[in-house]
Every structure is written in structure tokens, then in C-alpha cells.
Amino acid sequence: MSINSSIFGRTPDGRDVTEYVITNTKGASISVLDLGAILRTIIVPDLNGKPGDVTLGYDTVEEYFNNTAYFGAVVGRFANRIAYGRFTLNGKQYVLNANNGEHALHGGPGGFHIKVWDTNIINERTVRMTYTSADMEEGYPGNLTVQLDYTFDDDNAIILDYLVTTDADTIHNITHHAYFNLNGHGEGSILKHGLVINADAVTAVSSAASIPTGEMRDVGGTAFDFRKKQIIGEMLEMGRDDKLIEYGQGYDINYVIQGEGYRKCAEVTGGISGRIMEVFTDQPGVQLYTGNMMYDMQGKAGATYSVRGGFCLETQHFPDSINQSGFPSVILRAGNTFSSKTVYRFSTV
């Protein structure tokens, strides 16, 4: 195992951005940036042992600062949507910086994805990144500190350990927004990928704004049922008349994961590459997104990313939870600590 670092570029205000490359004893590697705690590369072998990069991204700091797709970033203070950019906590209403029409998305325009995080190398396989979000940053109360340990092990598993504290009551919902294509980034669509999601329901939405209605919709008999392995493209075709797919122009929906505690929530197989990705988490939900808004985007290493060129499985609390009484709580009280683990593990058939 080893970790090497180098300067990746500079922010518009002149701050250095560093890239850290973690290589395991099998020669597989990941790289992370201290900008946005971004996971920039995942280089793992296919079924023939040939290494390839399976996550979408960019080559420059400038592109990441204009990263409207949130490639590889940790997003917060609140991932996903908050309706009308407003919520009430302890009897006080807070108004957020809206950036998705009249709604707030992924922490707002100045969210965690464009912040430079403090970084330390913990050991030969772990990089620790820390960011403190100041009281009322993007409209959220309390000084909130997020610590994220990125670990890459010899099982080709990316381990994300989060630790969150606050000095005042606040809300939070941290997720990782990596896009994956198990055939290789820039290698066409993910429509032939096989997918399993261990969930019996999704949180229904009422419009293209993707704000939950509060309904937990049973996936049985619908194009959202991935409890057994299904091919993504075939399920999209099956659901072409489903309003929830129409609203998102594809899959952009939160799944209610079966069970509690740390458990496996999803598995993806990559067709011709023979790669497999398993997802484990202790969170209640996972957002499936199928790259519905990628219109010939220029990515790293000369790649072009088109619609369905990648998928996301964002482990999280449910969207708009603070405004939905039936959803798990996203309130973090002053002096309390939130901890969470998500793992993406890669193998081959």
C-alpha cells in the first residue's frame, strides 16, 4: 500500500488543490482531491485483469469549479432537495440559497463540493479530509464539522467513514456523488449494466422538481423493482410511461433500503467488462441516478460523457426529510455526533 500526492491545480483565489493517489498491493488505485473531497479516479481490473478507470470526472480545477453534475464530490450540508429552500427548526424558519429553481439542491451553490478541505494522511491506505461549514453558510444554522476518512484496501473496496459534529442544532444529509461506468468512463452507456437494489419502496415525487410527496411507493410490478437483477435499459423501456421516470427523464429516485444498520444495499454488474460493484451502507436510503442530464459533456482524458454515460448510487437520508414528518430525522443536535459508513467494493465475475 502507498499514498502519493501532487499539486493538481489552483483555485480561482490561488489556493493549491492536491491530489492523493492510494495504491493497494494489487496495483489498483483511487485518487481523491482536497477540493470537494472529490473521488477523481478509480482504477480497477476487468475480468481479463486489464486496469481501467470506472468513474467520471475532469482534468482541471476550473472544470470542477463548474461541476454542475457534481462528479465525484461529497455534497452537503444537505444532499438532494429541500422544497422551496425552506425549513423550520426549533420554531424558527430558515431560508436557504436556492439553486434548483425555487428549491435547494446538494447544499446550495456554495456547498461542500467547491470547498477546499483540510487533509491529512493517516496511514498507507487512508486519507482524512475535514471541512467546517460556518454558521449560516448557505443559510444553515450552526458551525458544522465534517470529517471523512477515505480508505482503499486490498479487496478493492473504497471505504467512506463520516463523522459529523455541530455546536448548534442543525440539519444535515451527507452523500457521495460519484458516477460509475463499470466498462470504463467514457465507454458508452450503462444501459446494459445489471442492477440489484435491496429496497421494497421508493419515495414518490410529484413533478420534475423531484420533491417527495411523502408517499412510500411499493416497487412491486413496476420499473423500479430491482430486488432481483435487472438490466437498466430494459427496465427504463418498461417504465417509459411511468410518471416518476418521466419526471426525471430516467431514474432519479430515492430507494428505501431494506433493513437497518450496516448492510448491502445494491450490486451492479458491468456487462462486457465483467466488473462488479457492491454497495454497503448504514443509511436509510440510496438515490439511483442514471446520468439523465449529461449532454455530450467533456470529461477527463478526452472522454465525452453522454446521456446514460454513468450511474450514481448515493447513500443518504431521504430528500426533503426535514419537511416530511414520516421520514427519518435529519436533525443533529448541538454536542451530538453523527457517524456513518458507506463502502463501494469492486470485483469481477
Contact yes or no for 299/186 (Cβ under 8 A): yes
Query: How long a stretch of residues is the chain?
Result: 349
Q: Cβ(103)–Cβ(84) under 8 Å?
A: yes
Average pLDDT over residues 320-342: 97
pLDDT of 208 above 90: no
Name the residues annotated as catalytic.
177, 314
Residue type, 340: S
Per the CB < 8 A criterion, the answer to whether 311 and 270 are in contact is no
Band of pLDDT at residue 157, cut at 50, 70 and 90? very high
Q: Quote the mean pLDDT of the chain.
A: 97
**Total-model pTM:** 0.97
Per the structure, the count of domains in the chain is: 1
What CATH number does residue 162 fall under?
A: 2.70.98.10
DSSP letter string over 128-185? EEEEEEPTTGGG--S-EEEEEEEEE-TTSEEEEEEEEEESS-EE-B-EEE--B-TT-T
Give 177-195 pLDDT, tens digit per residue. 999 999 999 999 999 999 9
In this structure, the dihedral spanned by the alpha carbons of residues 207, 208, 209 and 210, taken in order and rounded to 10 degrees, is 70
Quick one: pLDDT at residue 232?
98
**Domain range spanning residue 293?**
2-348
DSSP 3-state of 115: coil
> What element of type H or E holds 218?
strand 212-218
